[in-house]
């Protein structure tokens, strides 16, 4: 006995076109997203300073529009899709114990400089009741100008440690 039932024919374009559509959608959604930024876990006192700082941060820094990273938190902020990233309430960097550590001053706020391999510079405030970290993309490797945009908000909301 042979079966006379035939399989319905498939369009040769249905499978590949669906695959292309899925790949295109995945590519767009993954490539446009900036990487997540780890959210610090500060003390309650430091978190309160950080929340106040978050409200005072500028909307634009050097023509970079604010685009906060994920996950959404009052302890993180970003500009230019990750070109400039701020995290407030980070732990005190061990490098602060190094007497050879480099520092800079921007409009009255002291920052310690770290230069991690493979990325742009990272600055952390010193002499403050909460540590504020700013990471710049390699495009700002020799430019501390973005730090000036944070001086007013940091001075206003994060008291000095004296």
DSSP for 41-102 reads: ---HHHHHHHHHHHHH--SEETTEEB-PPSSP-TTEEEETTTTEEEEEEEPPPGGGG-TT-E
- pTM comes to 0.78
Residue 113 has pLDDT above 50, yes or no: yes
Task: Report the alpha-carbon angle 153-113-53, nearest 5.
Answer: 15
Residue 118 has a pLDDT of 81
Confidence of residue 90 (pLDDT cuts 50, 70, 90): very high
Residue 112 has pLDDT above 90, yes or no: yes
Residue 34 has a pLDDT of 66
Residue 9 has pLDDT above 80, yes or no: no
CA distances from 9 to 12, 31, 80 (A): 9, 37, 51
User: In this structure, what token pair is assigned to residue 29?
Assistant: 């959604």
């Amino acid at each position: 006995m042979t079966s006379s039932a035939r399989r319905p024919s498939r369009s040769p374009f249905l499978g590949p076109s669906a695959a292309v559509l899925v790949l295109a959608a995945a590519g767009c959604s993954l490539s446009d997203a900036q990487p997540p930024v780890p959210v610090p876990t500060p003390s309650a006192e430091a978190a309160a300073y950080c929340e106040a700082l978050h409200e005072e941060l500028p909307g634009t820094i050097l023509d970079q529009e604010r685009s906060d990273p994920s996950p959404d938190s009052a302890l993180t902020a970003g500009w230019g899709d990750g070109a400039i990233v701020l995290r407030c309430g980070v732990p005190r960097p061990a490098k602060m114990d190094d007497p050879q550590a480099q520092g800079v001053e921007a409009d009255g706020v002291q920052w310690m400089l770290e230069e991690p391999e493979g990325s742009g510079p990272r600055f952390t405030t010193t002499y403050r009741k909460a540590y504020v970290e700013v990471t710049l993309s390699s495009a700002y490797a020799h430019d501390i100008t973005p730090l000036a945009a944070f001086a007013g908000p940091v001075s206003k909301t994060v008291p000095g440690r004296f």
